[in-house]
Amino acid sequence: MTSGIWGYIRHVHTEGSSTPKQQPLLVLGKITEILDAFSFDRPSMTLGEIQQATGLPTSTAQRLVTNLVQQGFLDRSGDRIRIGTRMSFWAATAAKDLDVLSTVTPSLKSLRNETTETACFFRAEQNYRVCVALAETRHPLRREMYVGKIAPLNAGSAGRVLLAYDRELADRVLAQDLRAVTDRTVTDAEVFRKLLDRTRSDGYAITTGERDTGASGLSAPVFDSAADIVGAVLISGPTLRMPLSTCETWVDTLVSHAEQITRTLGGRYPVM
């Protein structure tokens, strides 16, 4: 029998069947469950934790994990198991010619539908941020937003996220005088640096009234395969529909969408 995971798949696929083409590869579903159990919040697990997360029988989980480690799908260090570095090569190959906007747009539409508010994607351009993709709310009362809109980096949650994960850009922006856009815009560089530290610690940012009076936003980062920030996913709307309490309930939804975009791009989170 062929050794390794592919031999195991072939064995399970053909065992007891003379017509393997008519039978689903159930083992692939189990492998997918194991790989999907890992996340940015849980990058490594013990075998017991994998079994608990997937619900697979202990013997099945052990057998599959062993084979996945042998083939480089997973890496093992002591009793901790994580996604294998071989997967990074495949991810980089898949993402080589991937259009970022075609990946972002479906997630923005999903985010808009789940929250009913405008979802957009900002990228840093020189000392500003630019909206490059948008799924606009269907509410008649909305914040002004359009593809190509330019905004300062020091005002609003998207700018804060972009600066939090690009220290060189943050140093350049904070070396200049910070312009107040509203009376709630942070213009003290030292205070702003502390806010960037908190953003890196939290993994997201929420702001109210910093760029537009009476408007709120919450943003989360998207990263590429080099763990460099690609852009910020933003949920934006009037504060009367998006008070702080509402923004806080949407954090998990926002971060989940940003994580999915990062995964699709073959990206990874930086080690802070």
**Which range is least confidently modeled, 23-37, 71-85, 120-134, 160-174?**
23-37
Model confidence at 15, pLDDT cuts 50, 70, 90, reads very low
Local structure of residue 40 (DSSP, 8 states) = S
**Which range is least confidently modeled, 91-95, 115-119, 126-130, 241-245?**
91-95
Model confidence at 24, pLDDT cuts 50, 70, 90, reads low
User: What number is the average pLDDT over the span 95-123?
Assistant: 86
User: What number is the average pLDDT over the span 221-229?
Assistant: 93
In angstroms, the CA 125 to CA 222 distance is 16
**Per-residue model confidence (pLDDT) at position 36:** 87
**Per-residue model confidence (pLDDT) at position 103:** 85
Torsion from C-alpha of 109, 113, 115, 121, nearest 10 degrees: 10
What tens digit of pLDDT does each residue of 229-255 get?
A: 999 999 999 999 999 999 999 999 999
Helix (H) or strand (E) holding 166: none
**Which range is least confidently modeled, 24-28, 54-58, 173-177, 215-219?**
24-28
Model confidence at 97, pLDDT cuts 50, 70, 90, reads very low
In angstroms, the CA 165 to CA 200 distance is 7
Strand pairing category for 215-223 and 74-77: unpaired
Cβ atoms of 136 and 118 within 8 Å: the answer is yes
Phi-psi label, residue 19: left if phi above 0, alpha if psi -120 to 50, beta otherwise: beta
Residue 262 tokens, joined: 């990062």
For residue 153, is pLDDT > 90? Answer: yes
What tens digit of pLDDT does each residue of 158-214 get?
A: 999 999 999 999 999 999 999 898 999 999 999 999 999 999 999 999 999 998 899
Looking at domain 4-83, its CATH class is mainly alpha
Residue 211 tokens, joined: 């760029």
In angstroms, the CA 244 to CA 272 distance is 27
Residue 96 tokens, joined: 């080589």
Helix and strand element counts for the chain (H, E): 11, 9
**Sheet strands side by side (includes 128-135):** 150-152, 128-135, 118-125, 229-238, 215-223, 205-208
For residue 261, is pLDDT > 50? Answer: yes
Residue 271 tokens, joined: 């080690």
**Per-residue model confidence (pLDDT) at position 4:** 53
Q: What percent of the chain has pLDDT over 90?
A: 65
Residue 232 tokens, joined: 């910020």
**Per-residue model confidence (pLDDT) at position 145:** 87
For residue 2, is pLDDT > 50? Answer: no
Model confidence at 65, pLDDT cuts 50, 70, 90, reads very high
Decide if domain 95-264 falls under CATH 3.30.450.40.
Answer: yes
Cβ atoms of 107 and 97 within 8 Å: the answer is no
Q: What's the predicted TM-score (pTM) here?
A: 0.66
For 44-177, where are the alpha helices, taking DSSP H only? 47-54, 58-71, 85-95, 100-115, 157-164, 167-174
Phi, psi for residue 150 in degrees, rounded to 5: -105, 135
Q: What is the maximal distance between C-alpha atoms in the chain?
A: 75
In angstroms, the CA 256 to CA 265 distance is 14
For residue 5, is pLDDT > 60? Answer: no
Helix (H) or strand (E) holding 149: none
**Which range is least confidently modeled, 3-7, 30-34, 153-157?**
3-7
Domain borders along the chain are 4-83, 95-264
In DSSP notation, 196-252 reads HHHHHHHTSEEEESSSSTTEEEEEEEEE-TTS-EEEEEEEEEETTTS-HHHHHHTHH
